[in-house]
């Protein structure tokens, strides 16, 4: 018989999930190009979560789920909820401000219950707390630490547009891009731990 998550976490090593999501851009109408504040009327469509990649810390395989499949957004969200429900802690880069809230938007939209509570470890926040880099993105931290960097797929908005149109080559590129972000996040995590800047319980 499988134990509930909270009971299991007290008698086994904590399960740490590394994850990253990708979202479609907002769609808006605007009269000007530069430095525009988009009004409620001008916002035609909200960007929504389109895919995510995740793996358990220390594992080799990376799981990838997306809304472009026959299972659609609900199938993707159910997978995300299941993984987060099993996690004791979740590691991301800028996940507290972006990834987790984007997922929550979609869970609420589709009437899916939230996962069990988990501890969030946001490496973006760790970087801001300890260091003063001129730019604070994932690639900047990765380059400082000498680990792998993000996959260059050109303009992300153009790639997402092709994915939304069902372009299979673009979807494969998005998969590789999303999964590489998980690889980079885990390498940053491990290097920060190795160098003494972070400790996971």
pTM over 0.85: yes
Rounded Cα gap, residues 53 and 2, in angstroms: 25
Strand partners, 54: 19, 63
pLDDT surpassing 80 at residue 8: no
**Residue 24 — pLDDT band, cuts 50, 70, 90?**
very high
pLDDT tens per residue across span 31-73: 888 888 888 888 888 899 999 999 999 998 999 999 988 778 9
Q: Which fold has domain 13-24+42-194?
A: Nucleotidyltransferase; domain 5 (3.30.420)
């Amino acid at each position: 018989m499988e134990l509930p998550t909270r009971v299991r976490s007290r008698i086994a090593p904590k399960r740490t999930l590394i994850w990253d999501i990708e979202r479609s851009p907002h769609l808006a109408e605007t009269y000007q190009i530069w430095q525009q504040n988009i009004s409620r009327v001008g916002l035609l469509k909200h960007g929504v979560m389109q895919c995510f990649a995740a793996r358990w810390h220390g594992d080799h395989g990376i799981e990838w789920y997306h809304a472009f499949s026959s299972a659609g957004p609900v199938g993707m969200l159910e997978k995300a909820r299941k993984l987060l429900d099993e996690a004791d802690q979740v590691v991301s880069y800028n996940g507290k401000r972006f990834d987790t809230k984007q997922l929550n938007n979609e869970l609420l939209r589709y009437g899916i219950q939230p996962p069990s509570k988990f501890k969030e470890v946001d490496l973006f926040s760790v970087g801001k707390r300890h260091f003063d880099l001129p730019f604070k993105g994932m690639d900047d931290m990765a380059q400082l630490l000498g680990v792998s960097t993000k996959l260059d797929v050109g303009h992300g908005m153009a790639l997402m547009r092709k994915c939304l149109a069902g372009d299979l080559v673009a979807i494969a590129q998005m998969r590789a891009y999303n999964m590489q972000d998980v690889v980079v996040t885990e390498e940053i995590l491990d290097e920060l731990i190795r160098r003494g800047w972070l400790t996971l319980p």
